[in-house]
Structure 1
Amino acid sequence: MKLSIIIINWNTEDLLKDCLTSVYENAPLYPFEVIVVDNASEDDSTKMVKRDFPSVFLIENKKNLGFAAANNVGIGASSGDYILLLNSDTIVHGAVLTASLNYMDNTSSAGALGCKVLNEDGSLQHSTSQFPSFLNLSIQTLGLDRINGVKFFQRYRMQYSERKTAQAVETISGCYLLARRESFETIGLLDEDFFFFGEETDWCKRLRSSDQEVHFAPIGTITHLGGGSSKSLNHRRDLMLTQATVRLHLKHSGWFTALFVFLLLWGFNLSRAVYWAFSNSIKPRNRTNKRMRHFIGVCRNFVKAWPKEKGVSL
Structure 2
Amino acid sequence: MIEDLVSIIIVNYNTEKFLENCIVSINKYTRDVNYEIIVVDNNSEKGSVSSLIEKYPAVRFHFSEENHGFGRANNIGASIAKGEYLFFLNPDTLLINNAVFLLYEYLKGNPQVGICGGNMYRGDMTPASSFYDIDFLTYEYKIIFNIKRYPGFNYTTGPNEVKVIVGADLFIRKSVFFEFGGFDKDFFMYFEEVELCYRLRKANYKIVSVPAAEIIHLQGGSAENKNEELGKWSYREHWYSKFLFFSKTKGKLQTKILYCVYILKLRMAMLYFSIRRNKGKLEYWNLKKNIINDAFGRYLKYLSNK
TM-score range normalised by the length of the shorter chain: 0.7 to 0.9
**Which digits, 9 at most, give the CA deviation of each residue in 1:199-243, with x for residues without a partner?**
000000111111211111112200000112322321222221111
Counterpart residue identity of residue 212, structure 2: I
Q: Measure, in 2, the Cα distance between the counterparts of 1:276 and 1:58.
A: 51
**In structure 2, the residue corresponding to 1:40 is in which secondary structure?**
coil
**In structure 1, the residue corresponding to 2:120 is in which secondary structure?**
strand
Give the TM-score, by structure 2 length: 0.87
Q: What percent of counterpart residues are identical?
A: 23
**Which digits, 9 at most, give the CA deviation of each residue in 1:168-206, with x for residues without a partner?**
111010000000112113212100101100000000011
Residue in structure 1 matched with residue 215 of structure 2 by the alignment: 222
Residue in structure 2 matched with residue 197 of structure 1 by the alignment: 190
Contact 1:242 1:262 in 2 (8 A): no
Residue in structure 2 matched with residue 245 of structure 1 by the alignment: 242
Distance 1:295 1:74, change over 3 A: farther
CA apart distance, 1:102:
1.0
**Which digits, 9 at most, give the CA deviation of each residue in 1:142-184, with x for residues without a partner?**
21115xxxxxxx4xx447x525431111101000000011211
CA apart distance, 1:75:
0.4
Counterpart check, 1:93 vs 2:110 = no
Distance 1:271 1:194, change over 3 A: farther
Structure 1 unaligned residues grouped into runs of 5+? 147-153, 283-288
Q: Measure, in 1, the Cα distance between the counterparts of 2:14 and 2:276.
A: 35
2:205 to 204, 208, 212: 212
**In structure 2, the residue corresponding to 1:91 is in which secondary structure?**
strand
1:175 to 141, 154, 168: 168
Q: Measure, in 2, the Cα distance between the counterparts of 1:44 and 1:293.
A: 40
Residue in structure 2 matched with residue 77 of structure 1 by the alignment: 80
Structure 2 unaligned residues grouped into runs of 5+? none
Counterpart check, 1:257 vs 2:254 = yes
Counterpart residue identity of residue 62, structure 1: E
CA RMSD of aligned residues (A): 2.5
1:304 to 279, 294, 299: 294
Distance 1:256 1:56, change over 3 A: same
CA apart distance, 1:43:
6.3
Q: Measure, in 1, the Cα distance between the counterparts of 2:267 and 2:46.
A: 35
CA apart distance, 1:279:
8.5
Residue in structure 1 matched with residue 122 of structure 2 by the alignment: 119
Counterpart check, 1:234 vs 2:237 = no
CA apart distance, 1:29:
1.9
CA apart distance, 1:46:
2.4
Out of 51-60 and 271-280, give the one that drifted further. 271-280
Residue in structure 2 matched with residue 150 of structure 1 by the alignment: none
Q: How does 1:251-290 map to 2 (within 5 A)?
A: 251-269=248-266, 281=278
Residue in structure 2 matched with residue 41 of structure 1 by the alignment: 44
Q: How does 1:104-183 map to 2 (within 5 A)?
A: 104-130=107-133, 133-145=136-148, 154=150, 157-158=151-152, 162-183=155-176
Contact 2:225 2:232 in 1 (8 A): no
Distance 1:130 1:279, change over 3 A: farther
Counterpart residue identity of residue 18, structure 2: L
Pairs aligned (count): 294
Counterpart residue identity of residue 208, structure 2: H
**In structure 2, the residue corresponding to 1:231 is in which secondary structure?**
coil
CA apart distance, 1:42:
1.8
Contact 1:236 1:298 in 2 (8 A): no
Distance 1:21 1:260, change over 3 A: same
Contact 1:11 1:43 in 2 (8 A): no
CA apart distance, 1:268:
4.7
**In structure 2, the residue corresponding to 1:34 is in which secondary structure?**
strand
Q: Measure, in 1, the Cα distance between the counterparts of 2:213 and 2:122.
A: 14
